[in-house]
Amino acid sequence: MSNSDLSGIISAVTTPVTETFDIDGGRLAQHCERLLNSGCSFVSTFGTTGEGASLSSAQKIPAMRALKAAGAEMSRHIPSVMTPTADEAGAMIAAAAELGCRGVLVLPPFYYDFASDDGIVAFIDEAMRRAGRPDIDILLYNIPRFSRFTYTPELIDMLVAKFGSAIVGLKDSTGVAENGKMLAQRYPDLSIFTGDDRVMPSLVQAGGAGMIGGMPNVFSADLRKIFEAPGAAETEDLRKRAGQRIVTVDGNGSMLALKATLAAVYDDPSWARAVPPLVGLNAAQTATVLSEFAETGFVPTKAA
C-alpha cells in the first residue's frame, strides 16, 4: 500500500486561542511538537476537537504557514477541511499541498441535508479544482452527528472511482465498532481509523489503521501502547482506563474538557479558552474532570 505509513495514533489537536479568539500559533506549535514526541504518528489540526468549524480558512491557513516557519515537520500534519463552501475547502487543500502536509481530512459539506451523493462528489471535485488539483492524499471524515452526511460504502465507491488513489483513508467517528470493522474489511487498501478509544483495539485487530481523535491530546502515550498491543493482557488495564476517560470527556463538554485538562498540564489558563459559540469550562466543571481523570491514575504533570 502506498499509504501504508498512515497508521497509529493521530491526535485531533485542540486549538489554543488568544483573548480575541485568534489561533495562538506559538502554543499550537509547542503542543503539536509535544504530541509527535509522545507517541503520535501524525497530528490533525482544525478538526472537530480543534474547533475547526468555528475558525475560517483565513485564520487557519496563516496558522499552518506559521507552523512550518516554526520548524514543524509538515509531512506529519493532516489538517482537517471543515467548511460548507468549495472555495474555502479549495484554499485549505491548496495550502496543505503547498506546505507539504501528509494529506487532508475532508468533512462533507454541511447545512443542506438534502444534498445527494453526486453533490458530495461534486463538492470535493470543485474544491480540488479550486485548489489547482494538487497531488495530495485525501482522508474522508465520517462524523454524521455534525456533518449530517454519512460516507457510506456507496459514496466511498463513487469517490474512489472519481479520485482514484488520492483517496487513502477514512476516519469513522460514528463510534460503532461494527461499522469501522466493516469498512476495514471492505477497503483493505484504505487506512481506516476510528475516532473512539474504545473502538480502536478491535478495529486494529480487524485490520484497521488506528485512531484519529481528541484523547491523544492528553493520553497519547497510553493510547500508543494500546495500539501496539490491542488485545494483549498487559494493556487490559489501559484499555479500561481509556474507556473511563472518554466517558468523562463526553460527559463534560468534549474538547472543552480536554482544553481544561491541558490548562492544568501546561499550567496555563489560556488553554481552557474556547471559540464562541463554545465557552470554556468553569472551575467546578474543571474540578470534576480532573477528579474523574485522577481516578484513572492521571496526574497533570506540568509540561515544559
CATH of the domain at 201: 3.20.20.70
Residue 2, burial from CB neighbour count under 10 angstroms (0-12, 13-18, 19+):
exposed
Q: Is residue 118 part of a domain?
A: yes
Residue numbers in the known binding site are 49, 212
Q: Is residue 218 part of a domain?
A: yes
* Helix, coil or strand: residue 142: strand
Q: What's the pTM?
A: 0.95
Annotation marks residue 302 as catalytic: no
Residues 250, 261: Cα–Cα separation, whole Å: 14
Which letter does DSSP use for residue 23 in this model? B
Half-sphere exposure of 251 (CA within 13 A, CB side): 11
β-pairing, 104-106 with 138-142?
parallel
Q: Is residue 273 part of a domain?
A: no
Residues 45, 234: Cα–Cα separation, whole Å: 31
Cβ contact 256:280 at 8 Å: yes
Which of 254-270 are b and which e, b meaning 16 or more Cβ less than 10 Å from the residue's Cβ? ebbbbbbbbbbbbeeee
Residue numbers in the known binding site for pyruvate are 49, 212
Q: How many domains does the chain have?
A: 1
Q: Is residue 111 part of a domain?
A: yes
Q: Which domain holds residue 203?
A: 8-230
Nearest of 215, 214, 207 to residue 239 by alpha carbon:
215
- What pLDDT score was predicted for residue 1? 47
Q: Is residue 241 part of a domain?
A: no
* List 171, 181, 187, 259, catalytic entry: 171
Residues 143, 175: Cα–Cα separation, whole Å: 9
Cell of 36: 509527535
User: In one letter, which amino acid is 222?
Assistant: D
Cβ contact 203:180 at 8 Å: yes
* List 60, 141, 259, 266, catalytic entry: 141
Q: Is residue 52 part of a domain?
A: yes
Per-residue pLDDT of the chain (304 residues; tens, 9 = 90+): 456 799 999 999 999 999 999 999 999 999 999 999 999 999 999 999 999 999 999 999 999 999 999 999 999 999 999 999 999 999 999 999 999 999 999 999 998 989 999 999 999 999 999 999 999 999 999 999 999 999 999 999 999 999 999 999 999 999 999 999 999 999 999 999 999 999 999 999 999 999 999 999 999 999 999 999 999 999 999 999 999 999 999 999 999 999 999 999 999 999 999 999 999 999 999 999 999 999 999 988 766 5
Q: Is residue 128 part of a domain?
A: yes
Annotation marks residue 171 as catalytic: yes
Q: Is residue 222 part of a domain?
A: yes
